[in-house]
Amino acid sequence: MRSQMQLSEDPYIEPLTPGEVITGWTVSKILASNHPEFKPNDYVVGITAWEDYSVVKAAQTLRKIPQIGLPLSYFIGVLGFTTYAGFHKIVNRQL
Protein backbone atom coordinates (compact mmCIF):
# COMPACT_ATOMS: atom_id res chain seq x y z
CA MET A 1 0.00 0.00 0.00
CA ARG A 2 3.06 2.22 0.32
CA SER A 3 2.96 3.13 -3.37
CA GLN A 4 -0.62 4.38 -2.98
CA MET A 5 0.28 6.52 0.04
CA GLN A 6 3.22 8.33 -1.56
CA LEU A 7 2.85 11.50 -3.56
CA SER A 8 4.17 10.86 -7.03
CA GLU A 9 4.22 12.72 -10.33
CA ASP A 10 3.66 9.50 -12.26
CA PRO A 11 1.99 6.87 -10.06
CA TYR A 12 1.64 3.42 -11.58
CA ILE A 13 -1.38 2.88 -9.36
CA GLU A 14 -4.08 5.32 -8.30
CA PRO A 15 -3.33 7.06 -4.98
CA LEU A 16 -5.53 6.49 -1.95
CA THR A 17 -8.42 8.88 -1.50
CA PRO A 18 -9.37 9.67 2.10
CA GLY A 19 -12.73 8.13 2.95
CA GLU A 20 -12.68 5.63 0.06
CA VAL A 21 -12.38 1.85 0.44
CA ILE A 22 -8.83 0.57 -0.03
CA THR A 23 -8.24 -2.06 -2.70
CA GLY A 24 -5.41 -4.56 -2.82
CA TRP A 25 -4.54 -8.25 -2.78
CA THR A 26 -7.03 -10.29 -0.77
CA VAL A 27 -8.06 -13.85 -0.11
CA SER A 28 -11.83 -14.03 -0.29
CA LYS A 29 -14.54 -16.62 0.27
CA ILE A 30 -17.25 -16.87 -2.38
CA LEU A 31 -20.73 -16.53 -0.85
CA ALA A 32 -22.68 -16.45 -4.11
CA SER A 33 -21.69 -16.43 -7.76
CA ASN A 34 -23.18 -16.37 -11.23
CA HIS A 35 -19.83 -17.40 -12.72
CA PRO A 36 -19.54 -21.11 -13.60
CA GLU A 37 -15.97 -21.33 -12.28
CA PHE A 38 -16.76 -20.12 -8.76
CA LYS A 39 -19.09 -21.84 -6.31
CA PRO A 40 -20.15 -20.88 -2.75
CA ASN A 41 -17.42 -21.67 -0.19
CA ASP A 42 -14.61 -21.54 -2.81
CA TYR A 43 -11.65 -19.36 -1.87
CA VAL A 44 -10.09 -16.97 -4.38
CA VAL A 45 -7.16 -14.57 -4.49
CA GLY A 46 -7.12 -11.29 -6.39
CA ILE A 47 -7.29 -7.55 -6.12
CA THR A 48 -10.55 -6.60 -4.43
CA ALA A 49 -11.81 -4.02 -1.95
CA TRP A 50 -10.78 -4.40 1.68
CA GLU A 51 -14.27 -4.66 3.13
CA ASP A 52 -16.50 -7.30 4.68
CA TYR A 53 -18.48 -7.98 1.49
CA SER A 54 -17.77 -7.08 -2.14
CA VAL A 55 -19.43 -7.57 -5.48
CA VAL A 56 -16.78 -8.42 -8.09
CA LYS A 57 -17.99 -7.99 -11.65
CA ALA A 58 -14.73 -8.93 -13.40
CA ALA A 59 -14.23 -12.59 -12.48
CA GLN A 60 -11.05 -12.76 -14.58
CA THR A 61 -9.34 -10.70 -11.86
CA LEU A 62 -9.74 -13.62 -9.41
CA ARG A 63 -7.90 -16.93 -9.24
CA LYS A 64 -9.40 -19.92 -7.45
CA ILE A 65 -7.27 -21.26 -4.59
CA PRO A 66 -6.78 -25.03 -4.71
CA GLN A 67 -7.62 -26.95 -1.55
CA ILE A 68 -4.15 -28.27 -0.73
CA GLY A 69 -4.14 -27.80 3.03
CA LEU A 70 -1.91 -24.71 3.23
CA PRO A 71 -2.79 -21.55 5.15
CA LEU A 72 -4.76 -19.13 2.98
CA SER A 73 -2.33 -16.32 3.82
CA TYR A 74 0.36 -18.15 1.80
CA PHE A 75 -1.50 -17.29 -1.41
CA ILE A 76 -0.77 -13.60 -0.93
CA GLY A 77 2.84 -14.18 0.14
CA VAL A 78 4.99 -17.19 -0.77
CA LEU A 79 2.40 -18.65 -3.16
CA GLY A 80 1.35 -15.31 -4.59
CA PHE A 81 0.26 -14.94 -8.18
CA THR A 82 3.75 -14.72 -9.74
CA THR A 83 5.11 -17.65 -7.75
CA TYR A 84 1.98 -19.72 -8.29
CA ALA A 85 1.92 -19.09 -12.06
CA GLY A 86 5.65 -19.82 -12.40
CA PHE A 87 5.37 -23.00 -10.36
CA HIS A 88 2.53 -24.35 -12.50
CA LYS A 89 4.31 -23.40 -15.72
CA ILE A 90 7.41 -25.34 -14.64
CA VAL A 91 5.46 -28.30 -13.26
CA ASN A 92 3.28 -28.54 -16.37
CA ARG A 93 6.42 -28.72 -18.54
CA GLN A 94 7.66 -31.63 -16.44
CA LEU A 95 4.45 -33.66 -16.93
Amino acid letter, 54: S
For the chain, list residues with pLDDT below 50: 95
What is the predicted pLDDT for the residue at 1? 67
What is the predicted pLDDT for the residue at 30? 94
What is the predicted pLDDT for the residue at 18? 82
pTM of the model: 0.68
Phi, psi of 25 (to 5 degrees): -65, 130
Report CA Rg, the chain.
16
Distances (CA, A) of 7 to 15, 16, 29, 69: 8, 10, 33, 40
What CATH architecture does domain 2-94 belong to? Answer: Alpha-Beta Complex (3.90)
Amino acid letter, 12: Y
What is the predicted pLDDT for the residue at 69? 82
